[in-house]
Amino acid sequence: MRIDIITVLPELIQSPLSHSILKRAQEKGLVEIYFHNLRDFATDKYKSVDDYSFGGGAGMVMKVEPVFRVIESLKSERNYDEIIYTSPDGIPFSQRLANELSSITNMIILCGHYKGVDQRIRDHLITREISIGDYVLSGGELAAAVITDAIVRIIPGVISDETSALTDSFQDNLLAPPVYTRPADYESLKVPDVLLSGNAKEIEKWRFEKSLERTRKLRPGLLEKNEDAE
């Protein structure tokens, strides 16, 4: 997979995508991540990428020219399955969407900034708009990092124990069950007996029941999504 990230602050997003699992994924050749400074594609000597909004109003708007130039430049070199724009009014990001995006070959992520981007960019270039939550960040870099991390970690081969990713929270619209490790008894705080039994069938049953219990208590809306999907 190749991911091209367009940003006005490449230094802000490079760090979180250059360590741990993301670093290993790139070293293994399973994903390529490239950063493109939008200012390098500005059309004026001041390298400006924003301007006032037509019709007035507070805040600046990302200009159409540099965004078109960088995306058209990238598209001239390869085909892209998705061109994503990080936006508070995009569709909510989810594990299901991360699973879907992890199977594509090439994508562009445009990090939003200021008051947003010129609508012509959204109308003619963007294939999908994604939000990571109902709040506003200073820019889309952190959202792009979250999206990239969630997608890359489930690409086959990125995590050595692939079953670990498959049992994460939200994979089946359920929260993950409680987990325990050694010691089995810490100052009379004991691990549930079933987990020490060696009975794989009973352990799996316990984990599923605990997932349901936690989801019902903490995120009941996820169970409603399961019902809607049936």
171-226 pLDDT, tens digit per residue, is 678 898 999 999 999 999 999 999 999 999 999 999 999 999 999 999 999 887 66
Q: Domains in the chain: how many in total?
A: 2
Q: What is the DSSP letter of 220?
A: H
Residue with tokens 């020490």: 196
State the pLDDT at residue 20. Answer: 94
Residue 159 lies in a domain: no
Entry pTM: 0.86
Among 152, 176, 203, the domain-final residue is: 152
Q: What is the DSSP letter of 172?
A: T
Q: Which domain holds residue 194?
A: 167-229
Lowest-confidence range among 13-22, 93-102, 142-151, 168-177?
168-177
State the pLDDT at residue 2. Answer: 98
Q: What is the distance between the alpha carbons of residues 146 and 17, in angstroms, rounded to a whole number?
A: 9
Burial class of residue 132 in the structure, from the number of CB atoms within 10 Å of its CB (0-12 exposed, 13-18 middle, 19+ buried): buried
Pinpoint the alpha helices (H) of 113-199: 119-124, 141-152, 162-166
On whether both 37 and 122 belong to a single domain, the answer is: yes
State the pLDDT at residue 128. Answer: 97
Report which secondary-structure segment, H or E, holds 65.
Answer: helix 64-75
Provide the mean pLDDT of the chain. 92
Calculated CA dihedral for residues 81, 1, 141, 114, nearest 10 degrees: -20
